Structure formats: structure tokens, C-alpha cells
Amino acid sequence: MRGGLRYKLSIVAVVYVIEGFPMGVFTKLLPVFLRRHDVSLTAIGGLSGLALAWSAKALWSPLVDRYGERRQWIAGALLVMVACLGALAALDPVRIGAAIWLAIGLYCVASATQDIAIDAYTIGFIDRGQEGPANGMRFTAYRVGLVLAGGLLLLPRWIGWDGTFAAAAALTLAMAASLLLCPKVAVPQERRESTWQALRRWSERSGVIWVALFVMLYRVGDRAMGPMVEPFWVDRGFTDEEIALVSSTLGVGATVLGAIVGGTVVSRIGIGRSLWWLGVPALASNLAYAAAAALPSLGRNPVYAASIVESFCGGLAAAAFMSYLMRICEKEHAAVQYALLTGLYAVIGTMVAVPSGWLTERMGYAHYFALTAVYALPAFVVLTGARRWLDGSDA
């Protein structure tokens, strides 16, 4: 049935594989590429500053909300990313210069623009009450996109880094073509023209400060740790193939399983309670990486275990968090509202990620990973206030 849940979930799967792939290139492929070419941890941490594109995307999200069709925005952003990956394939990887950083920066802007359109498309496409299954699929498909990007680490040994980025460009072009499978989600013109009034009304709701603080803080521990995970694997002597298999592929598989379990929990106990019960394990799971880093004499197995535990718990929390964001957005103005919320989440994440390399070089991996485990504690202080934007049994 074309309008049924199974059909809708298949479309959600397509668009979130597309959304996950560029982030995988940015967080999985590029840090290994840079570290293999002797770029410092401080510089790699600085690279995460380019994630400000995701923080600032709310600034141009009204353009996506008001003009054009959302699939056109997605396709256009993908074509820009194809050009950026082509530039990375053509540039000399031995000389990490301004041109490479410019290509990566433009890639981030295009990816952030794509995310605005995909998130708005999905919120308009999914019916109320379907958030649990939809978010399980969103997160699963997003992680499949990450797996595809992480799997590219299998290629440099055989075709070099230029060939690897060319392969990434080809995959991105294929993703743009896959949008032909996706139906149009119409937004009435009068709804488009009331974007700013709706945003002002929405942002003036009682308790907005608690919502903003919660969104910024809930996943901040993961954002702080993220830029140092791949360099940690490199410095512990893991090969590119091991990183691709365990950190990227098996870790993503654990995250997908966590998202599926999390989506089921959300459906059964509601979004508000899930934010508590699924968020606390994710916060504590960073300690698994801290323990692995503190015990190098135990070999590879603790690192493997840390990756699986952290990934599974991250999937649990993400299912609840994404359900919360979807529920508090209005369908007609989702491009602006969802972009604003995820921009808040991204800006604090970028602020804690930028100094991650500098802190790690001074504290060591073990102490830094342990520090990230306490970053999100304030989120649980403001959660009670943030839950007031939910309605009925979901609160």
C-alpha cells in the first residue's frame, strides 16, 4: 500500500542513507585520512570546527521552507558534494593545504543544507504516532550511510586516497539519482509564506528555554568524544581495515540494534520516559572507551568491546532524542524548526569538539574520554521542563 507504514519506512530508509553518508565521510574517513598524513590531533580537533555548518543551518533553513521542492534541495546539495569529493581526489594528499580545507568546508555546508531538506521532508511525510518506528528506521538507515562511508577505508590500500574520494563521489551521484524513487511531499503556499510568524509563535511558547538547554546538552558527551575516536584507533596501531570493520561497520551495527530497541521502548513507554531510561546508559557508555584507553596492556579486545557498548547505547538515546525533536515540530514549518533545534544541538557540540584534540594531547585519551562522560549531566536537570512540550501519554 503506497500510503502505508511499510512504504513510508522504505522511503525514510532511502533518504536517511543519503543523509548519513556525508557525515560518515566527515567523521570517519577524513580524520583517518588526515592522521595518516601526519596531521596533528589539535588540527584534527580543529577540523570539527567546520561542523559549524550544521550549527548555522537554521540561518538559511527558511529558504528551504519557502522556496522550491525539498527533493530538489537534496539533489542540489548532493551535486555540490560530488564536486567537493572530486576536488579532494584531484588534490595532493601529501600537502594538506587551504584548498583541501576549503573543499571540506563547502562539503559540510552542502551536507547541512541536505539535512535541512531531508528532515523537513520526513516530518511532513510521517504521520503523527508513527515517530517510534520511523525514528528506528531513520537511525538505522542513517547508520547504514555511515557504514558505507566508513567502508571506504578498505580502499586506500588498493586504489589510493585519490581513488577513494573518487569512489565516494560516484556513490554520492548514485544517491542523487535514487531520489527519483521518493514521492513529493507538498507544502501549501500559504503555509510557506507564514514561516516567520509561525517560528515566532512556536519559539515564544512557555518553557522554550528548558527545551533549548535540553537539546543543546543531551548528546553533548558523544559530540565531545567523537573527533578523537578514529585518531585513538590509529594511535593504538589499528589498520584502516580494522577501523572500517570494527569501529565503523560493527559499531554501526550495534548502533542500529540500539536504535531499533530504542524505537520499541519509545513506542511502549512514551517519549518523555524514554529520554531518561535510554539517555543514562548512553552517558555512562563513554566510560567504556576511557577504560579501554587506560588499559593498553589488555590488547585489542577492550577497544572492540568499548566500540560496541558505546555504539549500542548511543543508538538507544538517539531513538528517544529524535522522537522528541520530531514531536515538538510543526509539520508545515519543519525545515526551519527542526533546523533550529538541531542547530542548537550542533553548536554546543562543535564548541566542545574543537578543543578535543588539544585536551587529549594534554590529558591523554583515557582521561579525556572519562571527562566526556560527565558533559551531558546537566541535560537531566532541565529534562523535566523540556518534557512539558510533549502532549498526552508521551510526556
> Got the DSSP string for 259-304?
HHHHHHHHHHH-HHHHHHHHHHHHHHHHHHHHHHHH-GGG-SHHHH
pLDDT in the model for residue 232: 93
Q: Is the dihedral of CA 304, 308, 314, 315 positive or negative?
A: positive
Q: What is the pLDDT of residue 382?
A: 92
What are the CB-based long-range contacts (under 8 Å, 24+) for 163-171? 163/89, 164/29, 164/89, 165/85, 165/86, 165/88, 165/89, 166/85, 166/86, 166/89, 168/25, 168/29, 168/85, 169/81, 169/82, 169/85, 169/86, 169/89, 171/21
pLDDT at 187: 65
- Per-residue model confidence (pLDDT) at position 1: 39
Number of domains in the chain: 1
- Cβ–Cβ < 8 Å for 133, 5: yes
**pLDDT at residue 213, as a whole number:** 93
Please give the pLDDT value at position 172: 95
Parent domain of 369: 5-394
CA separation for the pair 222, 286 (Å, rounded): 8
Secondary structure class of 119 (helix, strand, coil): helix
Could you tell me if 215 and 325 are in contact, meaning their C-beta atoms sit under 8 angstroms apart?
yes
Q: Which H or E run includes 381?
A: helix 377-386
289 CB contacts (<8 Å, ≥6 apart)?
225, 229, 232, 306, 307, 310, 365, 369
pLDDT at 93: 64
- Whole-number percent of the chain with pLDDT over 70: 90
Could you count the other beta carbons within 10 Å of the beta carbon of residue 49?
17
Give 228's contacts (C-beta < 8 A, 6+ positions apart).
41, 45, 356, 357, 360, 365, 368, 369
Helix axes 356-363, 365-372, angle to 10 degrees: 130
Q: How far is CA 198 from CA 86, 124, 228, 337, in A?
A: 40, 16, 40, 9
**How far apart (Å, rounded) are the C-alpha atoms in residues 65 and 360?**
40
Per-residue pLDDT reduced to its tens digit, 311-368: 899 888 988 898 898 888 776 666 677 778 877 887 888 888 889 989 999 999 999 9
Question: pLDDT, tens digit, for every residue of 137-179?
Answer: 887 788 789 888 988 988 988 998 889 999 999 999 999 998 8
Rounded Cα–Cα distance for residues 203 and 341 (Å): 11
Residues in the chain with pLDDT < 50? Answer: 1
Rounded Cα–Cα distance for residues 297 and 203 (Å): 52
Q: Report the candidate in 278, 312, 287 with the shortest Cα–Cα distance to residue 380.
A: 278
Contact indicator for 31, 48 with CB cutoff of 8 Å: no
Cell of 200: 515566532
Predicted TM-score of the model (pTM): 0.69
CATH number, position 108: 1.20.1250.20
